[in-house]
Amino acid sequence: MDRKKALNAVEKIKGFVAPIPAVFDGEGEPDLPMIEKLVDFYLAARVHGFFLFGSIGMGPACRDDQRKAVTEAVIRRVAHRVPVIVQVGTVDPYSSVELAAHARSAGADAIGVVGPYYYNNRTEFELIEHYKLIDRAAALPILLYNNPQYSGYPCPPQMMAKIRDAVPNVFGAKLADGSVSQAMQYLSVLSHEFATFCPITVVVPGMLVGIRGSIAAGPIAVVPEVGVQMIEALWAGKLELGLRLQVLMLEHYGRMARFFPLYGRAEYREGFRLRGLAVREYPRWPTRPMTTEDRELYDQNLKRLFTEAETLTLSAAAA
């Protein structure tokens, strides 16, 4: 990718970037027709981009050929309407190199790279060389994916700065968790030009201090419209609306907290079904069925969130 095209792609990566889930057919194979429907669902919600194969995207739980098939299906369906970032992180650099080269040939706008996992005692030299190998294969903008819960170690601001200096194609980072003050530490070391993405639960205060947006997993995956509304309110200068929507989202997360300990990631499968998407299998392993009572409660929570968000938006428009 030439420098001008790369800079143009980076400028467009902002706002609410949806970490689309890879869903399956009941036998552990990607359900590509349903994945295309999920792309349409998110585009109808007006998301500002896609992020493939993070934690909700099931990247580490898929074979490389499955990741390639999903990559091609999503990029083809998106058809350049919004940027697509393909997360290519694996335990070794050579698998990531193969996935990165494929992402480029498939038409990805950028790649994401989670730190190599399992072997969490790698040296600084080894980590930097890992990213350099991937960069040479991709020749695309790179978003670092700092997810200490799953990689097994954090990538603090000083280390991220060293990676960026060694790999100039690195343009930003997804911080999988953390507070606004922690995000500000990254901005202070890496500069406000470094595109930093924070959790949706802190995106409004985060964007006020220079965060680019959110690449958000969790319950927001099922209700992307509210995440989009929150960010676009800030872009339109409607700070009060943005803050009120942020509070609604925090309250929604509080109500939804009971589901993950009981059902794990199957919570999202049930959510998509309630939104009219007949997902057969998610995640890519056996899960506990949701009870009728909990499904009804989940549905009530969704309807409450949409009703309250619509009321706020209409009130702000009338003011």
Report the b/e string of 261-280 with b at 16+ CB within 10 A: eebebbbbbbbbbbeebebe
Task: Convert the pLDDT of each residue in 261-281 to its tens digit.
Answer: 999 999 999 999 999 999 999
Measured between alpha carbons, how far is 132 from 172 in angstroms, rounded to an integer?
16
Beta bridge partners of 113: 144
Two tokens, residue 54: 């993070």
Domain span holding position 170: 3-318
Task: Convert the pLDDT of each residue in 206-240 to its tens digit.
Answer: 999 999 999 988 999 999 999 999 999 999 999 99
What percentage of the chain carries pLDDT values higher than 90? 87
> What's the total number of domains in the chain?
1
Average per-residue pLDDT for the chain: 94
Two tokens, residue 148: 């200490």
Give the CA-trace dihedral at 213, 251, 153, 120, to 10 degrees: -110
pLDDT at residue 4 is higher than 80: no
Q: What is the pLDDT of residue 3?
A: 57
Beta bridge partners of 314: none
Please answer whether residues 280 and 34 qualify as being in contact, where contact means their C-beta atoms are separated by less than 8 angstroms: yes
Q: What is the pLDDT of residue 191?
A: 87
CATH number of the domain that residue 149 is part of: 3.20.20.70
